[in-house]
Amino acid sequence: MEEGLLPKTVFTGHKVSAVAWLRGVKSRSLVSGSWDNAHNGLVLWDVASTGIDGADAVPEPEKRDQIEMPNGVTSLAALGAAKVVAGCVDGSVHIFSAEGGQLERLAVFRPGRLHRVGCACTAVSKWPADDNSFVTAGEDGRANVVRIGEDSPWWSSSGSGSLGGQSRPSINGVAAYAGLVWTVNSGGQLQSWDPNSDGASPSTYRFVLDSGADVVAHELHSIDISSAGMIACGTNTGAVQIWDSKKLKYPEKYVEPHTAEVWAVKYHPTLASHMFSASENGQLLHWFTEEGYADPTVVDILADKDCLGVNCCDVEDELVACGTDRETLTIFSPMFPRD
């Protein structure tokens, strides 16, 4: 396959735990979040909007602004072209404006408001077709749907506490699709919740791998859903499960591309056949599925074991960003074969 542009890497001085491209027409701005023992923050970056066509390499990202955070950042989600929501280790959730090349904190949900004190907010995601609503998930097993400007979530799962005398599994990833909240947890469950129903019980799906003497239900660490309704879930063993949201008895595909935890899976927002997976083994892989149910194929290894763990990734238009434990942010511009 024809190669894309040469990537550009910048040293950040902190582990990059989360990245999110601002969603707009030909957006070239992204936000990164850090996870550090001493100082944590968000950084707003711009990638030059000119110079990509006909160039040999991605332009170097330019730091536009930064703002301190009280704790490590676990997850970021863009709310359109001008806002971003951040989840933190202490369970707090922060909303920022990114207009005019500056980061401004608009609102804070402090620990105990959305997630129980002492439990991290593990994941955030945008609510579809609404730049003022988002979803959060946490170690307390709780998911919330929140509207900006309101003091409390307009929907929360039953989460937080015990279930049948046992602690609820941590929700490690969250996404929203087709009016439902989708979560993955440390118990190996893919669950869907209907915020418009009276009950708070989810539909639960679980894939158990029978490997001879051992029967294993993988922990699920990450989730994303394509515009075509395909659900990718990353596991603690390096495997990726791909489910069809229309028929959820078993995963459509089960592949084992990595040798360690898959911290992030991300579909291209408009090219549903393209997916990326980021792993603790230092790899960032680019996947392509020619048809909806064909076997996914790795078409490019964007990063491969030389950057310690790859913690996060996001894609917008022709640009892919990833953050690493090596304290780097790298921007790729791979080739995108079409269906």
Give the separation between CA 215 and CA 3, rounded to whole angstroms.
41
Residue 79 in contact with residue 20, Cβ under 8 Å?
no
Q: Residue 208: its pLDDT value, please?
A: 61
Domain count, the chain: 1
Here the CATH number for the domain that contains residue 115 is 2.130.10.10
* 24 part of a folded domain: yes
Report yes or no on 339 lying in a domain: no
On whether the CB atoms of residues 52 and 37 are closer than 8 A, the answer is no
What tokens were used for 213? Answer: 């003497």
Within its chain, how far is the Cα of 103 from the centroid?
21
Pairwise CA distance, residues 185 & 141, whole Å: 8
The answer to the question of residue 278 being in a domain is yes
Alpha carbon of 329 to those of 16, 54, 301, 310, 320: distances in Å?
Answer: 7, 23, 16, 10, 11
Enter the tokens of residue 302. Answer: 């964007």
Give the pLDDT of residue 215: 42
Residue 161 confidence (pLDDT): 41
Please name every residue paired with 79 in a beta bridge, in sequence order, or none if there are none: 83
Q: How many whole angstroms separate alpha carbon 204 and alpha carbon 214?
A: 22
d(CA 242, CA 255): 8
Domain assignment present for 245:
yes
Q: Is 192 part of a structural domain of the chain?
A: yes
pLDDT of residue 302: 79
CA distance 82 to 106: 12
Please give the C-alpha separations between residue 336 and each of 22, 119, 288, in angstroms, as whole numbers.
20, 39, 8
Domain span including residue 187: 5-153+169-333
Residue 227: HSE in the Cβ half-sphere, 13 Å Cα cutoff: 8
pLDDT in tens, 292-329: 555 678 877 877 766 679 999 999 988 999 999 999 99
In a domain, 158, yes or no: no
Burial 250-261 (b: 16+ CB within 10 A, else e): ebbbebebbeeb
Q: Which residues of the chain have pLDDT under 50?
A: 1-2, 160-166, 210-216
Helices (H), 137-196: none
Neighbouring residues of 247: CB distance < 8 A, sequence distance ≥ 6: none
Task: Give the Cα separation of 322 and 313 in Å (integer).
Answer: 4
**Distance (Å, whole) CA 89 – CA 34:** 11
In-domain check, residue 228: yes
Instruction: Determine, yes or no, domain membership for 159.
Output: no
